[in-house]
Amino acid sequence: MGRQFPNTFIYISPEANSYLAVATARVIKRALREQVGDMLVFLPGAGEIQRVATLLESENFGNPSSFVWRSAF
């Protein structure tokens, strides 16, 4: 059996009338400011992944040394 690590799940209510990519980028930025550790974000498709990555990179949250973007597509 492999090693187990503790996980923390934090629920954040979605913002009304906010686009998925914008809301996701906001939550990621908030988590990076408030938490330490790794983050796993699930999005419904490649387009959403690219939009979130573009938003984060445009605000200098996409430092290549601190992020690894992986897509299932």
- Residue 47's domain spans which residues? 20-58
Counting DSSP H helices and E strands in the chain, the numbers are 2, 0
Distance CA 70, CA 11 (A): 23
Query: Nearest 5°: CA angle at 27, between 48 and 29?
Result: 100
Residue scoring higher pLDDT (61 or 38): 38
Does 43 map to a domain?
yes
pLDDT tens-digit profile of 39-53? 888 888 889 988 998
Does 8 map to a domain?
no
64 pLDDT above the threshold of 60: no
Does 69 map to a domain?
no
pLDDT tens-digit profile of 2-32? 888 888 888 888 778 889 899 999 998 888 8
How many structural domains is the chain composed of? 1
Does 25 map to a domain?
yes
Distance CA 8, CA 28 (A): 15
Contacts of 56 (CB under 8 A, 6+ apart): 25, 28, 29, 62, 67
Does 27 map to a domain?
yes
Does 41 map to a domain?
yes
